Structure formats: C-alpha cells, structure tokens
Structure 1
C-alpha cells in the first residue's frame, strides 16, 4: 500500500498537480451522499495511476447507481470524479422511462460541505488534484 501511495505522489509531483480535496473532505462527501440524498448518484472516476476513467463513457444518464460505500477508495488516488445526480428508472416496455433528478440536492450538499466543483452538461466534476483551480466553484 505504501509503494502505491508513493507512485501516486510521484505522478502528482511530475504533473505539477495541486491537491484540491483531502481524505476528510472526500469522507464528508461520501457520508453526505449516503445519508442526505434519496439515492447514490452514479459517477465516473479517474484515478491518478490510470490512463482512462471508469466507466469509459459517461456522457448520458444511466440506469445504475453509484457505489459510494466502497467504490471510491483510496481517496488520495482520485484525480477527479464526474457525478451525474440523475438516473433513468425503467417503467416498462410500453411506458417511457423516467429520469430521477436530484441535481439541486446534490449542489446544495456540495455547498453545505464546502466541496469545490465544476458543473458542466448536467454533471459535477470534483477534483482530487488539478493543475489549475481557477475554474472550480465553491459558492
């Protein structure tokens, strides 16, 4: 585990990234999502040591929820997450699917916890590390 952390730190240094989040902020966000929202929103995560985010595509609303219990660890390795606080609920073959949207609740949670973010195309980007902080909001 220690060698993994050193690899992450080496990449952060090499790319000259600034730390935006810390373990305390990530944990507060995780607990807030689990305890204050009606469902756990789906997300895409990009880890420092990986070339591509998981899942690879995440540009439209999805039918599944996010794993906010075990899915984001270790926090120190997260470069960013993209959260879509919406999901598509299947209603049946003859009835249109329903989009369940908690964007306002998620935005309020971020504000209450003082989590910096960038909002773009119905998604929230929360950065663990970034080369620039000027585009991130926390209002």
Structure 2
C-alpha cells in the first residue's frame, strides 16, 4: 500500500505600504509606527467588539469611546515600535554590523525612553530598559529560528 499523507499550504494576504522620505532611518521608523499602530488599533476594536457582542447593544457613546481607544492605543504602540525600529537601526549604523546585539541595545534604549517619558522612578526606568532589551533579544532569536 502506498504511503499516504497530507500536504497543504496556506498563505495570507500581505499588505505593504512604503513611504519613502529619502532617509532610511525615517522610513523604518514610520513603517514601524504604521504597522504596529494599526495592529494595536485593530486589537482595541476587536476587544470592544467582543464586549458589544457579549452585552448585545452598542450606543453612540460606546462607539465614540472605541474610536478614541483605537487612536490612543494605535498612537502609543506605534510610537513605541517606531522608537524601537529607529533605535535598532541607529545602533546598527553606529556599530557597523547587523546582529542580535542591535536588538538588545535598541530594546533597552526604547524601554528606558518609554519608561522615562511616563514616570520619574529611576529603578522603574532601569527595570523597563532590562525588560525591553530582553524582549527584543528573545524576539530576534525566535525570528532567527523560524
């Protein structure tokens, strides 16, 4: 009897928006802002859609709050992503090499920057810098494995 098996593939639609400002640093930063900002806005919309379905009703006030939440989340996470991508690119240009250390340094700088902008606690800034560096490094290693 011949061996049997299942082979399949799936592909998802890919949308890529390119904004050319003439500066690679700015191009990457804007690209990171737009991509992650749109993901964050979509997540906020999906979360609120869940509560609308659960409660069975929507009002114009709730809809307005959802739009505000989408904008706020999109802008916040887009700014964080833009800062990270810009930092990583800047570190790459300064170091003259492309490796996981750029992600670690860029993540640490971004974590410290975002934390310092939102609070004045020095210990929290250091902890967020360590967390940002660790998360960025882990993401880089996971990306390398796939």
TM-score interval, smaller chain: under 0.3
- TM-score (norm. length: structure 1): 0.24
More helix by share: 2
Q: Normalising by structure 2, what TM-score? A: 0.23
Give the structure, 1 or 2, with the largest relative contact order (CA under 8 Å, sep 6 or more).
Answer: 1
